[in-house]
Structure 1
Amino acid sequence: MFGSIMGYLSKDLGIDLGTANTLIHSRGQGIVVNEPSVVAINTRNGQILAVGHEARAMLGKTPPNVLVSRPLQRGIIADFEVTEKMLRYFFEKLHRETTAFIPRPRVVVGVPLDVTEVERKAVGDAVLSAGAREVHLIEEPMAAAIGAGMPITDPVGNMIIDMGGGTTEIAVISLSGVVTAKSIPIAGDELNRNIIQYAREVFNLLLGEKVAEEIKIDIGSAIDIAETLEAPMRGRDLLSGLPREITVNDEQIREAMGRSVRAIVEHVKSILEITPPELVADIYRRGIVLTGGGAMLRGMDGAISQGTGLPVRITDEPLMAVVRGTGLLLEDAKLLHDVEIPLQEVMR
């Protein structure tokens, strides 16, 4: 009885708990949170100073007593306590306008493909500790496919590539199940590191992570593009120790990221090689769907298409695909039952 009352007063939530960003879908409202998965903490008293965009703005600019933490690495909880505090902050923020004294939402959360049972349980426990009354876990490629509108319940091959911040998840789905899949630690963060390493080796310039990401967004591309793009690259000269600015172009940044882009394409091909032929025939006809923040890199769809010989399309609002999928599952109890990960330890 008490649980049903809490359910009435609380909002059911779908969560994309990503390495780079946390997105939350509230039932009946749509996407209500889209914030970086970053938390700033005062190490002297353990107090949270900022979460999300405010915390991300502090990266690399803090005094010794302020720690800016990214509690999720490769989609896995690296710091349980900070993750719990971040989720509790978002839950309380969303429920301030309700009459519930304690928000107790029902929550659907996306998790990476290759996480262990212990890591899955850590996600469930963190969400429960943050205030959820019930947790359902779903594999992120499955959530992304649902969010992209793919017919995952039909007997046809659906191939999806979800490029996030920490991982790229490649999966072939049919009849509400993952047939073949692979999760690789090459995604948005790795592309940023490629740019940082390139700047160090070629220009003797030490870059910050935010600067590298801005350059990737501004002029980065996976294949040759028609127009030449340029951007300033600012950092510390490793020889003089002084600030320095140079101008780089899209060709240089493409060279910096080239090895990682080629590795992603090779992993896509390796999944196709082990996929049953009937499903490969469907994929040849239907193509591959690309989701996640990495899908927004210029020419990423073209690079995969060139490497595989298959049509590739980017779904609408690719960054929102996983959280949209969790939101749709909140509305469809039968589909949620069919696709959720059967992990009783996190169900309460």
Structure 2
Amino acid sequence: MAALRTDMGIDLGTASILVYAKGKGIVLNEPSVVAIDQNTNKFLAVGEEARKMLGRTPGNIIAIRPLKDGVISDYDVTERLLKYFIQKAIGRTLFKPRIIVCVPSGVTEVERRAVLEASIQAGSRKTYLIEEPIAAAIGAGIDITQPDGNMIVDIGGGTTDVAVISLGGIVVSRSLRIAGDDCDDAITRYIRKKHNMMIGERSAEALKMNIGTAYRRQKEVYMEVRGRNLVTGLPKTINVSSDEMLEALEEPVNAIVETVHAVLERTPPELAADIGNTGIVMTGGGALLYGLDKLIQIKTGIPTRIADDPIECVAIGTGKSLDWVDILDNSLIDSESIRR
């Protein structure tokens, strides 16, 4: 039997899409990857199944990520992807759902419009947009309606959003298009340069997740990785250390730390004092990079902690904000206002 209506929040991420259904919590968490048959333009696989195909498809099949740097790079595929995930998450409903989609704080008006239009075409009755730092703060359990300064560092797949929030809105923010994917690219470049070996996207991500580090570990750890020798063209296996990962990730990690520092420099004194007391909260999958919280704490002198559930934090906050639409009205942009 079809439900009357299920409102939902969607974390439309570069690396993964999470869907929060009102009253149910997170009902879907899958990679934002699609495998398409170029001859027929049909979806062959979506999500985790399609992610396994990255770098392994024959000529007529392409596995792509339709979102880049937190925004839509392929409108048609994103629309079809959203429609697929909405139907999979809530099934049949008599009335179209209201949807809140979170976007990076630095997106342009054109990028906002693209997200809104894609959501409407995918089947929403009304779509709101919420900026990622606000959604992350709500998901982390912070009462953003109070006149207190809270600092959020949200590190996703395509963007890093750093923001100071007070009274339900963003006071100071900066969106950096360097995040988890750039860390993967940095690892790929490092392995190619130092070991003369080419590794795939999934291997680079595995290195980052297992032995990646932003701050030197007390005990060095190693991981075996396989790839293609660039000299002989043959398969090759090497052991990579966490110290090598520290060197490989130095550039993107420093860019993130410098962004945090830049936002703190622009923060009003009263709010800066609040942040000094309450600390910095980190969310997003990138927050799980070993030692990054410690590095930010050392560089800023401000206590830094990782939210309880950093990966699902933004999606939870996006879903919870459905109850806060009236309070957050100034922070939200809806599909009707952007059409006017």
User: Do the two structures share a fold, i.e. TM-score over 0.5?
Assistant: yes
| CA–CA separation in structure 2 for the residues paired with 1:95 and 1:169 | 29
Deviations 1:266-305 (A, max 9, x none): 1111111111111111111110000000011111100111
Q: Give, in whole Å, the separation in 2 of the partners of 1:113 and 1:156.
A: 20
Q: What amino acid does structure 2 have at the position aligned with 1:335?
A: I
Counterparts of 1:39 and 1:213 in 2: how far apart (Å)? 18
Determine if the alignment matches structure 1 residue 118 to structure 2 residue 114: no
Does the residue aligned with 1:289 lie in a helix, a strand or coil?
Answer: strand
Say yes or no: does 1:337 pair with 2:329: yes
Among candidates 20, 24, 36, match of residue 19 of structure 2? 24
Matched, 1:146 2:141: no
Question: Is this contact kept in 2: 1:151–1:158, CA < 8 A?
Answer: no
Residue 37 of structure 1, aligned match among 15, 18, 32: 32
C-alpha spacing 1:342/1:42, structure 2 compared with 1 (3 Å): closer
> Given that residues 19 and 89 in structure 2 are in contact (C-alpha distance below 8 angstroms), is that contact kept between their aligned partners in structure 1?
no
Question: Which AA in structure 2 matches 1:295?
Answer: A
Q: Deviations over 1:294-326 (max 9, x none)?
A: 011111100111111110010011011111111
Contact kept, 8 Å, 2:127 with 2:334, in 1: the verdict is: no
Q: Does 1:315 align with 2:307?
A: yes
1:83 aligned residue: 78
1:3-14 → structure 2 map (5 Å cutoff): 9-14=4-9
Q: Distance in 1 between matches of 2:248 and 2:98?
A: 43
1:57 aligns with 2:52: yes
CA distance in 2, matches of 1:256, 1:50: 33
How far off its partner does 1:46 sit? Answer: 0.6
- Map of 2:185 onto structure 1: 193
Distance 1:340 1:244 in 2: 51
Q: Is the 8 A contact 1:221 1:254 kept in 2?
A: yes
Distance 1:32 1:347, change over 3 A: farther
Q: CA deviation at 1:342?
A: 5.9
Question: 1:259-278 residue pairs with structure 2 within 5 A?
Answer: 259-278=251-270
Separation in 1, partners of 2:259, 2:324: 33
2:117–2:335 Cα contact (<8 Å) kept:
no
> Secondary structure of the equivalent of 2:20?
strand
The alpha carbon displacement at 1:258 in A equals 1.1
Residue 47 of structure 1 aligns with which residue? Answer: 42
**Structure 1 unmatched runs, 5+:** 1-5
- Displacement after TM superposition at 1:347 (Å): 6.7
Is 1:66 paired with 2:61?
A: yes
Q: Secondary structure at the match of 1:246?
A: strand
Find the partner of 2:248 among 252, 256, 265: 256
Partner Cα distance (1:94, 1:309) in 2? 43
Secondary structure, aligned partner of 1:23: strand
Q: Aligned residue pairs: how many?
A: 339
Q: How far 1:118 moved relative to its partner?
A: 1.1
Q: Return the match for 1:204 from 193, 196, 200.
A: 196
Write the distance in 2 (CA, Å) between the matches of 1:116 and 1:269.
Answer: 24
Q: Secondary structure at the match of 2:62?
A: strand
What CA RMSD, in Å, does the superposition of the two structures yield over aligned residues? 1.5
Pairing 1:225-304 to 2, within 5 Å after superposition: 225-304=217-296
Select which of 10, 15, 31 maps to 2:10: 15
Q: Which amino acid aligns with 1:32?
A: V
2:128 matches 1:128: no
Q: Is the 8 A contact 1:136 1:347 kept in 2?
A: no
Q: Any unmatched runs of 5+ in structure 2?
A: none
**CA contact under 8 A between 1:41 and 1:48: conserved in structure 2?**
yes
Cα contact 2:126–2:334 (8 A) shared by 1: no
Q: Secondary structure at the residue paired with 1:317?
A: coil
1 CA distance for matches of 2:332 and 2:321?
10
Report the alpha carbon displacement of residue 99 of structure 1 after superposing the two structures with TM: 5.4
TM-superposition CA deviations, 1:236-289 (whole Å, max 9, x none): 100000110000110001110012111211111111111111111111111000
Q: TM-score, normalised by structure 2?
A: 0.96
Q: How far does the alpha carbon of each residue in 1:78-103 deviate from its partner, in whole angstroms, 9 at most, with x for none?
A: 0000001111111121233x453xx6
Shift of 1:151: 2.1
226-235 vs 134-143, which deviates more?
226-235
Task: Give the TM-score, by structure 1 length.
Answer: 0.94
Matches of 2:192 and 2:49 in 1, distance apart? 28
Kept in 2, the 8 Å contact 1:125–1:346? The answer is: no
How far apart, in 1, do the equivalents of 2:335 and 2:106 lie? 14
Aligned mates of 1:347, 1:318 — CA distance in 2: 34
- 2:64 is aligned with what amino acid? S
The residue matched to 2:321 in structure 1 has which SS?
helix
d(CA) in 2 for partners of 1:122, 1:157? 32
**Where does residue 3 of structure 1 map in the other structure?**
none
